[in-house]
Structure 1
Amino acid sequence: MLVTLLALVFAAVELLPGDAASATSDRGASAADLAARRHLLGLDRPVWRRFLDWMTGLPTGNLGTSARGQKVTDLLADPLPNTLVLAASAFAITVVLALLLGCWTAARPGRLADRVISHTSVAAFAVPEFVVSALLLLVLSLWTGWLPAVTVTGGDGRPASWTMLIMPVLSLVVPQTGWNARVVRGALADQASTPHVESAHLDGLPPYRILLWHQLPGAVPAIATGIATSTGLLFGGAVVVEALFNYPGIGTVLAGAVAARDTPLIAGVVMCAGAVVSLVLLVADLIRHATLGARA
């Protein structure tokens, strides 16, 4: 899956107008200078050959050299951990909120709380991250002044204060919580009609016990799969959120790399994000397999 994704990245950059030589050369460079730079960057070779050369270094952790002559691994050394902190924080909060809201509504099917949270979840998921970011900036920064509008980095390349993470994290949490709360609610509703849950009701067990000990374990495979699939959406939203809040992550690096048609740097960012998403999906599959195996 990653190999296919990376091949598509190389092909997509090749189809964009312009190239890395013209994007990174001095203004007014002659045709001879541009041709020499294209040869230096290997742009005169077929794209499939450049892709294979880049892939040969991947097993050793070599992500190639950017169009400006810097190692891609060095360029990602600081931004990648920042993005992982942002995405992991948003992911953890999303999981907790989705489980709480999904369990709460599943315990009150058809009631006012169930209807309100269900409709609110749909609306939250439908709102793009940049709209949520703009609203948070307006309320929490411009109107109240509670939080800084932009991220200021310290000497280590990290945000100078943890409060600068609040709005970027919330911008990612709101849409994803809406989606995952619906996933949890639906998975628990499917379990509610199973024979062992109906038997638990007939035995007179308390509703909270039935929910936690009979419905939730059976819903874990569907919940794990649904939450894992939102990891890719978190990384996609992080690109927009990081640009809006000036957050020092790979989203900012990716935006600059696309503008410079810097294929190795773009591929390096996609590789790192794709590896994390694939790992989360693998863990979700293992959880699903283990849970279904235990039930069998």
Structure 2
Amino acid sequence: MAGPLSADEAVGDGIRPASPAAGLRLAGPALRLGGLLARRALLLAALLALVFVAVELLPGDAADATSERGETAADTARRRELLGLDRPVTERFLDWMTALPTGDLGMSARGERVGDLLSGPFPNTLLLGGLALLVTVVVSLGLGCWAALRPGRAVDRTVSATATAVLALPEFVVAVALVLVLALWMDLLPAVTTAGADGTPASGEMLVLPVLALAIPQIGWNTRIVRAALADEAKAPHVETAVLDGLPPRRVLGHHLLPGALPAIATGLATSTGMLLGGAGVVETFVNYPGVGAVLAGAVADRDTPVIAGVVMVTGAVITCVLLLADLVRARAAGGRI
């Protein structure tokens, strides 16, 4: 049996050995991506630790908050021991984090598995946030590009001023205004959301008000980002050359401005994902939407640390994935450098 070819024989036979430099080029981005994931995971772990400490500092605990009328102090003490509240908060946090890789989010103070408790409401919140993000992407890109095609004109000034005013509005203020106008005055949409037998909104029109309430402030924020990114990219030499060559404005926008502005736009939209999911809790409570907002409000009232941490965990995981996607978009635009 023939032995393995030497390096010289391999080259002579037309088989070129892999270059060590090529392996390093492949390993470099992978290592940087791994480091980025590690930093995101550490940040999320620090946030979860902060949740445990913050709930610990609140007056009372889950045993007191969930006690029944007529319950004795001995009964409350037994529940406190059963929930593990007699142990140090660091020990409880480490136990919870140790079980997390298996998908175990712990037990609530009322004896329900946190994963089961969130399995229904959280997809509803993701639906709400996803639709709001989709509306934000479409409208902010449209308005930003419309203004960029008419720099310095009335349209540009109007879009910029309106976006600045809108981004300052909190979600609950927008929700109040939308309910007042579209539901109570014009009777176009339902003021509250009712859930069907499967726990989802009973009809699609019930999504309109909460989606708009979440999206409108983020449309203002991202329209400003899109307009500023396109204005910066318009100063690039290749864009100025395209304009001097007489290319139509829409072609300059689509082939020269938007590709260069994409990293900044992606970063703004990724940031909006966190804002949308964070604001969803307020809007959901206001319109009685069947999402995690009601679950989180009840958990805070119950001082239920595993439920609060579970909500933060699943929400933080979604936001981390979106931020990672934005990082990859920026890396691709920068030639593969993460």
TM range (shorter): over 0.9
Q: Give the AA of the match of 1:218.
A: G
1:252, 1:116 → 2: CA distance?
A: 38
Match of 1:99 among 134, 141, 144: 141
For the pair 1:115 / 2:157, whether they are aligned, the reply is: yes
For the pair 1:289 / 2:331, whether they are aligned, the reply is: yes
Match for residue 303 of structure 2?
261
Match of 1:76 among 118, 127, 132: 118
Match for residue 50 of structure 1?
92
Match for residue 27 of structure 2?
none
For the pair 1:21 / 2:79, whether they are aligned, the reply is: no
For the pair 1:10 / 2:90, whether they are aligned, the reply is: no
1:126, 1:145 → 2: CA distance?
A: 27
Match for residue 244 of structure 1?
286
Match for residue 273 of structure 2?
231
For the pair 1:271 / 2:325, whether they are aligned, the reply is: no
Match of 2:130 among 63, 88, 112: 88
Q: Give the AA of the match of 1:211.
A: L
Q: Could you give the per-residue CA deviations for residues 204-237 of structure 1, whole angstroms, max 9, x where no partner exists?
A: 1111111111011000011101110111110111
Shift of 1:294: 6.8
Q: Give the AA of the match of 1:171.
A: A
Aligned 1:143-292 pairs, distance under 5 A: 143-292=185-334
- CA RMSD of superposed structures (Å): 1.0
Q: Give the AA of the match of 1:217.
A: P
1:176, 1:106 → 2: CA distance?
A: 19
Q: Could you give the per-residue CA deviations for residues 131-161 of structure 1, whole angstroms, max 9, x where no partner exists?
A: 1101111111111111111101111001100
Shift of 1:36: 1.1
Q: Give the AA of the match of 1:203.
A: D
Match for residue 81 of structure 2?
39
Q: Give the AA of the match of 1:253.
A: V
1:83, 1:181 → 2: CA distance?
A: 24
Q: Which stretches of structure 1, 4 residues or more, deviate above 4 A after TM superposition?
A: none
Q: Could you give the per-residue CA deviations for residues 212-268 of structure 1, whole angstroms, max 9, x where no partner exists?
A: 110110000111011101111101110110000000001111011001000000000
1:30, 1:178 → 2: CA distance?
A: 54
- Number of aligned positions between the proteins: 295
1:254, 1:210 → 2: CA distance?
A: 47
Q: Give the AA of the match of 2:235.
A: S
2:205, 2:324 → 1: CA distance?
A: 32
Q: Could you give the per-residue CA deviations for residues 176-231 of structure 1, whole angstroms, max 9, x where no partner exists?
A: 00000000001001001011011111111111111111011000011101110111
1:56, 1:16 → 2: CA distance?
A: 24
TM (normalized to structure 2)? Answer: 0.86
Q: Secondary structure at the match of 2:45?
A: helix
1:163, 1:190 → 2: CA distance?
A: 39
1:112, 1:27 → 2: CA distance?
A: 65
User: Highest Rg: 1 or 2?
Assistant: 2
Q: Secondary structure at the match of 2:216?
A: helix
Shift of 1:283: 0.4
1:251, 1:282 → 2: CA distance?
A: 25
Q: Secondary structure at the match of 1:154?
A: coil
Q: Give the AA of the match of 2:53.
A: A
Q: Could you give the per-residue CA deviations for residues 62-87 of structure 1, whole angstroms, max 9, x where no partner exists?
A: 00000000000110010011000000
For the pair 1:139 / 2:181, whether they are aligned, the reply is: yes
2:69, 2:51 → 1: CA distance?
A: 27
1:28, 1:104 → 2: CA distance?
A: 65
Q: Which runs of 5+ in 2 are unaligned?
A: 1-42
Q: Secondary structure at the match of 2:179?
A: helix
